[in-house]
Amino acid sequence: MLTVDFDRLGLRPGDRVLDLGCGAGRHAFEMYRRGADVVAFDQDADELAGVRELFAAMREAGEVPDGAEADVKEGDALALPFADGEFDRVVAAEVLEHIPDDIGALRELVRVTRPGGTVALTVPRWFPEVVSWKLSEEYHDVPGGHIRIYTDKELASKAAGAGLEVTGHGYAHGLHSPYWWIKCAVGVTNDDHPLARAYHRLLVWEIMSQPRVLRWASRVLDPLIGKSLVLYCRKPERSRDR
């Protein structure tokens, strides 16, 4: 289940790409499959171990183009262990809402992006997130949970303040917002509730089979109640007098 549109990001084979806060690696795997040289970065060593194993399995299965490379790196988003301008593309998907110093994290990811490189930032969208917070404290008030709710304007402003040009935006996962509202209403960990189980089966059907009716429903719902906001950004080229 991808949130970022890699065509809009400008991803090309051979690009060096950072997946910041990669989690289980969903975006890193797709970028690797498309021929990018990927670094999956996270502070969770257990998650990274699983990502490393799947990278290796993809190579062995012949799922990646010749020459593509992938690795994992553990560390802190506020002190990235990479050189200035090291990456052509950076993805930070559903990460910033967890970081107290989100501005510091934005500055770091801008630092490691090359001039002219592109960045995709995704966060939970304001309206679906507000509904979830109002329905359940358990949804967000947990160690490592969501600590803020972004408006579109706030995220764009912070991205610009960190040195990025916002080139476009989008919304994703409109079918997923009602699922989380149901979960928040019946209990976030109550996976056995009949309504939660039924809706989960719908989402599995969407992901595995991509039926036409659900693709159409997503196109309608994404702009209205899309669970995620996606900003596409560009780091400006250096001025000629530098």
> How confident is the prediction for the chain on average, in pLDDT?
95
Say whether pLDDT at 242 is over 50. Answer: no
Beta-bridge partner residues of 73 = 41
Q: Which amino acid is at 144?
A: G
Q: What is d(CA 41, CA 21) in angstroms, rounded to the nearest whole number?
A: 6
Structural domains in the chain, sorted by start: 6-125+139-173+226-234 (3.40.50.150)
pLDDT one-digit tens code per residue, 102-117: 999 999 999 999 999 9
Number of DSSP helices (H) and strands (E) in the chain, helices first: 9, 7
pTM metric for this prediction: 0.93
pLDDT one-digit tens code per residue, 163-206: 999 999 999 999 999 999 999 999 999 999 999 999 999 999 99
Q: What is d(CA 38, CA 90) in angstroms, rounded to the nearest whole number?
A: 10
Contact criterion met (CB below 8 Å) for 31 and 17: yes
Q: What is d(CA 78, CA 109) in angstroms, rounded to the nearest whole number?
A: 9
Q: Which two tokens stand for residue 11?
A: 């991803």
